Amino acid sequence: MKKIIPLWLIFFSATLNICFAQNAALQNFTIDAKATTETKALFYNLRNVSGKGVLFGQQDALMYGIGWKGEFDKSDVKSVTGSHPALFGWDLESIAKNDSQENQIRNAEKLKSYCLQAYKMGGINTLSWHVQNFVTGKNYYDTTNCVSAILPGGGKHKEFTVALDKVASFIKSLKSDKGVAVPVIFRPFHENTGNWFWWGKPFCTAQEYKTLWQFTVQYLRDKKGLHNILYAYSPDRISGNFENYMDRYPGDNYVDVLGFDNYYELKDINDEKSIALAVKSIGQICNYAISKNKIAALTETGQEKIVQPNWFTTVFKKIIGDVAASKISYIMVWRNANTGHFYAPYPGHQSEQDFKDFYNNTRTLFLKDVGREMYKTQNDKQNN
C-alpha cells in the first residue's frame, strides 16, 4: 500500500523538497501577465515537481471506464489503486463544433461538471481540442487545407472565432463554489508534426501554424480576458530530433508547457531502440523547458490494451533513470473506452499488479498524493 504523504509535507521532505510558491513574492513565469493567483501557483508547483515526482493523468477518467459509465467519484485508476489520477484530460470537440444549441448546452454542462469535480478534489484539468475542419464542415481527420482559411483575412476566419468564443465561454464558466476561476491547461492543435489532422505539417506552413497558435492565445487571453489558462504545445513524436520539435514552435511568449505525444516509440517495451529515442526526446524537451522556466510533459502516451503486463513500470523506470528525462512534470495516458481500446488497467486485467507497483513508486504522484496543494502557495499552507 502506498504511503500517502500530503504534498505540503513533501515540501519539507529531503527526498522531494518541492518548493511551493510564496504569496508575498509569487513570481509569474506564465505567458499571461494577468494570470490568476491560482494559475500562477499551479504553474509554479508543476514546475517545481520537476525532478522530484511525476504526476499521472488519464483522459476522460471520471466519465467512463471498462463496464461502467457516469458513476460519481469513480475511475478505473481508482478502482485499481485506491486513488484517482492527479491530472484529468478532456476534449472540447463536443462543445465547440457545429451543432444544435440544445446539444451544445447539454455537452458543455456535462463537461463542466467533470472539470469542477476534478478541481474540487484537487485534480488538474487539461483540455485538448479535436476541432472540426471549418472549410468542409467535416471532422478533424479531413485534411482539406484549412489553416490559411481561418487565419485573419481568411474566408473562414469568422467561423473560427465563433468556435473560439464557445471555447472561451466554456473556460470562463469554470468557477469554484467561491467564484474562483478554475485553472486549466489548454492543449490545442496537438500532434502537429503528424499527417492525420488538418493542422498537421503537410497541410500548412510552419509560419501559418505559428500564426494560428499565436492568434488563438491572443484571442483567449487578450480579447476574451481569460487569465486562468496555461498553454501546452504538444507535437507528435520527434525521435530525438529537437529541431523538428522547434520547427513549428510558436515562441516562448506563447507557450507555458512543452509537451509531446508519443505512442509509437513506447508501444513495445522490447523495442529498446525506439524507447531510447523516446527517452532522448523527453530529455531534450525537459532541458529546454527548464532553461526557459517552463513545464515539460508527456502529454499523451500509453500502450493500447496494455498487452505487455509490465509496461508501466518498465517505461517509467526508463524515464526516471535518465538524468534529463526524469525532470518531466506529468505523464498522461489516453482513455478507457472499451475492452478493445483502453490505456490504464482495470480490475482483473493482467497489468493490474504492475500498475499497483507503478502507483507505489515514491516518484509517481496521484490525486491522493497532491490533495489540493497544487493550487496553493506556501503561505496558504502556513495559514491553514
CATH at 316: 3.20.20.80
Residue 272 has pLDDT above 50, yes or no: yes
pLDDT at 372 (0 to 100): 86
pLDDT at 368 (0 to 100): 97
Report pLDDT digits (tens) over 7-26.
544 443 433 344 444 554 57
Report pLDDT digits (tens) over 67-112.
999 999 999 999 999 999 999 999 999 999 988 989 999 999 999 9
Residue type, 292: K
Is 161 inside a domain boundary? yes
Average pLDDT over residues 280-297: 98
The three cell numbers locating residue 42:
499551479
SS3 annotation, 149-199: HHCCCCCCHHHHHHHHHHHHHHHHHCECCCCCECCEEEECCCCCCCCCCCC
Residue 255 has pLDDT above 70, yes or no: yes
The three cell numbers locating residue 105:
448546452
Q: How far apart are CA 382 and CA 384, in angstroms?
A: 6
Is 235 inside a domain boundary? yes
Is 74 inside a domain boundary? yes
Q: What is the mean pLDDT of the chain?
A: 93
What is the extent of the structural domain holding 283?
7-383
pLDDT at 27 (0 to 100): 86
Put simply, whether the predicted model's pTM sits higher than 0.75 gets the answer yes
For the chain, the domain total comes to 1
Is 242 inside a domain boundary? yes
Burial pattern 199-238, b for ≥16 Cβ within 10 A else e, equals: bbbebbeeebbbbbbebbbebbbeebebbbbbbbbbbbbb
Is 2 inside a domain boundary? no
When pLDDT is cut at 50, 70 and 90, the band that residue 371 belongs to is confident
Is 1 inside a domain boundary? no
Is 220 inside a domain boundary? yes
**CB burial class (10 A; 0-12, 13-18, 19+) of residue 283?**
buried
Average pLDDT over residues 59-63: 98
Supply the residues annotated as catalytic: 191, 300
Query: Other CB atoms closer than 10 Å to residue 131's CB: what's the count?
Result: 24
Is 16 inside a domain boundary? yes
Strand-pair partners of 87: 57, 124
